[in-house]
Amino acid sequence: MIVDLRSDTVTKPSKQMKEAMLAAPVGDDVFDEDPTINDLQDYASNLFGKEAALYCPSGTMTNQIAIRCLTQPQDEVICDQRSHIYNYEGGGLAYNSMVSVRLADGERGILTPELIEPNILKEDIHYPISKVIGLENTVNKGGGACYREKDIEPIARLAEKNDLKMHLDGARFFNAIVATGEEIKDHAKHFDTISICLSKGLGAPVGSILLGTDEVIKKAKRVRKVLGGGMRQAGIIAAGALFALKNNIERLADDHQRAKTLAKELEQADFVKNILPVDTNIIIFEVRDDLSVENVLNKFEENKVYAVPFGKGAIRFVTHLDFNDEQMERTINVIRLLSF
Ligand SMILES: *Cc1c(COP(=O)(O)O)cnc(C)c1O
């Protein structure tokens, strides 16, 4: 048995999802003629209470398009130093949007108005122009930490006061919704643009969706085209995404429960120095100072449990749709057995 905890992107489409994909009507989406993609976009915009939605190949693309639509060259984006848009998108904000980034340092990546405000620049010819506040929910590098609506509302007010736009990198937004028990629309109303991933915890094979006003999505479609993201009969993959949105949100609670159980085991393990609190499906732990991450990962791999290194001295586990109770038993046994 192989246990793959490297990421929630490793999930494969289920039989039912594949059946939905096989049955999907398709058309040329560059001509707006793919009925499945049109259904998916309508379903998503209704779910979020936004005017429009755009299906794209990846979450990197939806984030990049959003920032391109909200900014001009010489503008600046304020985000946490752990942000995916800053760390893991190949320098895309400079490359695609010609903007700079100003980094705040939130507790596990969760920003507050107090942390953001000093980063808002006054009008001065020497400075870039502060334009967007980018939040991430849940925060990947923060160990899956999540915002509550009451944390977002004052940030949105600060943004409005300073004429800034709000973007949400919601690659794991539904994990935050399930963990907090809050309403999708109550979070969504605070953002100009929202990017969500269907190919992570929701288990679709491909795709992300950008949400916003009709105006911003019209522009986003032009940007998607120039990035080479205008797909043709992509309804065949969009059907998997639609199936995921309709069927796989509530079950994220199981992933969270399993992550908490694994974290409890890791807390007991003598190779673990410390572990970030587990709110959703991500577990980040540091290994003992006298051990190397590589060494610990190798031992896990010898037992067919796969994870990834995650910054200095740390390892990340992510639970997901294809990680079941049997695999969890196995992982717990390996954690108990490992000795250094
Ligand atoms: C995975 C992820 C993305 C998008 O990644 P893609 O692989 O391009 O789909 C964006 N933001 C966060 C926080 C992520 O974890």
Q: Is 69 helix (H, G, I), strand (E, B) or coil?
A: helix
Q: H-helix or E-strand containing 96?
A: none
Question: Comparing C-alpha atoms, which of 262, 230, 313 is closest to residue 144?
Answer: 262
Kindly give the distance from the C-alpha atom of residue 74 to the centroid of ligand 1, in angstroms, as a whole number: 25
- The span from the CA of 64 to the CA of 85, in Å, is 8
Q: Is the pLDDT of residue 339 over 90?
A: no
Query: How does pLDDT run across 115-169, given as a tens digit for each residue?
Result: 999 999 999 999 999 999 999 999 999 999 999 999 999 999 999 999 999 999 9
**Domains of the chain, start order:** 3-8+251-337 (3.90.1150.10), 14-247 (3.40.640.10)
Determine the residue of 169, 308, 310, 316 to mutate for testing ligand 1's pocket, defined as the one with the most ligand atoms within 8 A of the Cβ atom: 169
Determine the residue of 6, 88, 280, 316 to mutate for testing ligand 1's pocket, defined as the one with the most ligand atoms within 8 A of the Cβ atom: 88
Query: How does pLDDT run across 309-327, given as a tens digit for each residue?
Result: 998 999 999 999 999 999 9
pTM, 2 dp: 0.97
> In the structure, which protein residues have their CB atom closer than 6 angstroms to any atom of ligand 1?
58-60, 63, 84, 136, 140, 169, 171, 197, 208
Kindly give the distance from the C-alpha atom of residue 122 to the centroid of ligand 1, in angstroms, as a whole number: 32
* Closest residue to atom 5 of ligand 1, CA basis: 59
Ramachandran bin of 115, using left for φ above 0, alpha for ψ from -120 to 50, beta for the remaining angles:
alpha
Joined tokens for residue 257: 């429960």
pLDDT of 261: 97
Percent of the residues in the chain that have a pLDDT greater than 90, as a whole number: 99
Question: Over the Cα atoms of the chain, what is R_g?
Answer: 20
Q: Provide the 10 A C-beta neighbour count for residue 289.
A: 8
pLDDT-based confidence at 192, cuts 50/70/90?
very high
Joined tokens for residue 165: 């736009």
CB 109 within 8 Å of CB 80:
yes
Alpha carbon separation from 101 to 128, 145, 155, 239 (Å, rounded)? 9, 22, 18, 36
Joined tokens for residue 11: 């999930």
